[in-house]
Structure 1
Amino acid sequence: MKSAMNYSCLLCVLVLLPALCHCQDSFTPSRATYYGSPDCYGTPTGACGYGEYGRTVNDGYVSGVSRLYRNGSGCGACYQVRCTKPQCTGDGANVVVTDYGEGDRTDFILSPRAYAKMARPDDYQTKQLFAYGVVEVEFRRVPCRYTGYNLMFKVHEHSKYPNYLAIIILYVGGTNDVTAVEYWQEDCQEWKPMRRVYGAVFDSQTPPNGPVNLRFQVSGSHGATWVQPKYALPGDWKAGAAYDSQMQLD
């Protein structure tokens, strides 16, 4: 099957019809399980550092991942995950990565809400799926869509104005991974890198005074590029506050 798929992709290139080649849409086999949650949503203590956003984003259809975590750059990525049991639907669940986790040879540890979404809409079928504990699945990367939301910069609660600034980038649309963040140092007239503390959290021990102009590097289907929002963090930024970038990624 794999050889036939590779040959099909090569044929697409040879006849110069890339629009007909859908290799990027192919699924990868794996395994998935679920974690306990009192309300079936995500957890606010996930390794990506999202806090409450990691519990409720995408209506709680979220997941911890293992190798797809990619040292934190995989945080915020969206995947379609569908299981192969008779109790499962063909669509499965679209989930957002908000945590790191390892299971029994699994790539995905889904919130109970996301795990149930893979089942046919029948209580008996859902209970059977949960009884398996671990199921064979297939997955693929899909664009994140946040209708009504621009990309946001949240100032982490551990930030200490004005001497320590940590930020988290939320609602990253498309199939983009945030791989680096920098801020503009006016007196030096240069961009300074922020450190990836863990997950999706970036910080600086010496943030500039006044408004903080940020730019971030995204790696997606069009390669790596730097993106600079038009709006800076205000000079009186506050820990725990979220600021609208007035832009979104495709």
Structure 2
Amino acid sequence: MVRQEQHQHRMDGPWILEAVPLMVVGLITAHVVALVYWIYSDNNTVNDHVAGEEVKSTSFHKSRFRIPANGSGFSSAGATWYGGPNGAGSDGGACGYGNAVGRSPFSSMISAGGPSLFKSGKGCGSCYQVKCTAHSSCSGKPVTVVITDECAGCVSESTHFDLSGTAFGAMAISGQEQQLRNAGVLQIEYQRVDCNYPGTNIVFKVDAGSNPHYFSTLVEYEEGNSDIASIDLQDSSASANYWRPMQQLWGAVWKLDSDSALTGPLSLRLKSSTGEIVVALNVIPAGWGSGATYRSTVNFNE
């Protein structure tokens, strides 16, 4: 009862005269903040509509790769290396790139990826910056690598890079490459980045077992920072709007089984995981051959 009387006394006294101005200021501040938030949100909505739905989706995903939890652009991962000290890991690997891993534009700067990077093959061709600071031979400077292989047993960390000897040594201070390789398992930092192959567009290497009723192709050198979500095929006998979905066979290899014979030239439509679509029109010519490589004139612009 005593506490209730004291509380009542404070409400009836001059305290209320001091509180009213503060309450008014608080209400005004809250309304101003709400108004600013509404204006900001509304402007963003207008800009998204002006830019278009596809641009909005791509911008969102690019920012996601740039802003990890620690706010610096990089996240933590484990790293090892395989193959020769100055080699490209192994020829080919689980993505199917063959000996292209040792040639430009890959140039041996490649990595096998643990499950979170390989993504059952959808991660093939994705690019990452990696750097190390946890060893005295680390330069701390980022280098770019491409996922070209799978490291199925690399599960001791949520993210693991099994780098080529060349890529692992590239994280070292100049002249200390072998000292760094001798360190064994390293804790590194990584971030997803755009793949950039100046002067190189998407390439299709037709599988050696392909025929008019079965078409299979390796897809290489996609630019941007997203994965291929789907590929559709159209042959010259189909109507303009008729596309047949291909299936991911393994790694970066996609295939189509056809009841009727495919008539060249063939066009391929690729869709990225961010929604961007590119069409390689008539990229596989009439009279195409199994085992042949065909270069397109398109690439992603993410």
Give the TM-score normalised by structure 2. 0.69
Q: Structure 1, residues 1-55: CA drift from partner, whole Å, max 9, x if none?
A: xxxxxxxxxxxxx796x99x86266111011000023751242231111112234
Deviations 1:97-141 (A, max 9, x none): 10010335351000000000000002xx32221111110001001
1:217 aligns with 2:266: no
Aligned to 1:11: none
**Does structure 1 residue 172 correspond to structure 2 residue 222?**
yes
1:209 alignment partner, SS class: coil
More divergent stretch after superposition (88-97 vs 137-146): 88-97
Q: Distance in 2 between matches of 1:141 and 1:187?
A: 38
Structure 2 residue identity aligned to 1:59: S
What corresponds to 2:231 in structure 1? 181
Q: Which residue of 2 aligns with 1:155?
A: 206
The question of whether the paired residues in 1 share the 8 Å contact of 2:110 and 2:163 is answered with: yes
Instruction: Give identity over the alignment, percent.
Output: 34
Confirm or deny: 8 A CA contact 2:100 2:106 kept in the other structure: no
CA contact 2:80–2:184 (8 Å) conserved in 1? yes
Higher mean C-alpha displacement, 84-93 vs 74-83: 84-93
Conserved 8 A contact 1:93-1:115 = no
Q: Report the Cα distance in structure 1 between the residues aligned to 2:207 and 2:238, rounded to whole angstroms.
A: 25
CA contact (8 A) 2:276 2:300 kept: no
Contact 2:95/2:121 (CA < 8 Å) preserved in 1?
yes
Aligned to 2:113: 65
Q: How does 1:1-250 map to 2 (within 5 A)?
A: 23=67, 26-37=73-84, 40-56=87-103, 57-66=105-114, 67-84=116-133, 85-101=135-151, 102-103=153-154, 104-105=156-157, 107-122=160-175, 125-159=176-210, 161-184=211-234, 186-187=237-238, 190-206=242-258, 208-219=262-273, 223-250=274-301
For the aligned residue pairs, the C-alpha RMSD in angstroms reads 2.5
Give the conservation status (yes or no) of the 8 Å contact 1:32–1:136: yes
CA distance, structure 2, for counterparts of residue 199 and residue 243 of structure 1:
19
- Whole-angstrom distance in 1 between the partners of 2:212 and 2:183: 51
Residue 279 of structure 2 contacts residue 298 of structure 2 at CA under 8 Å; is this kept in 1?
Answer: no
| Residue range with higher mean Cα deviation, 177-186 or 111-120 | 177-186
> How much does 1:187 deviate?
4.3
One-letter amino acid of the counterpart of residue 170, structure 1: E
Residues in 1 aligned to 2:145 and 2:122: alpha-carbon distance in whole angstroms = 16
Deviation at 1:164, TM superposition (A): 2.0
The answer to whether the 8 A contact 1:231-1:246 is kept is no
CA contact (8 A) 2:92 2:148 kept: no
Identify if the C-alpha distance between structure 1 residues 90 and 231 changes in structure 2 by more than 3 Å, giving closer, same or farther: farther
Deviations 1:79-101 (A, max 9, x none): 00111223112223210110010
- Note if contact 2:124-2:147 (Cα within 8 Å) is conserved in structure 1: yes
Shift of residue 240, structure 1, vs aligned partner: 1.9
Letter in 1 for 2:214: Y
Letter in 2 for 1:80: Q
Q: Deviations over 1:47-84 (max 9, x none)?
A: 11111223434211000001111111110000001112
Higher-helix-fraction structure = 2
- Unmatched tracts of structure 2, length 5 or more: 1-36, 45-58
The structure with the largest alpha-carbon Rg is: 2
Structure richer in strand, relative to its length: 1
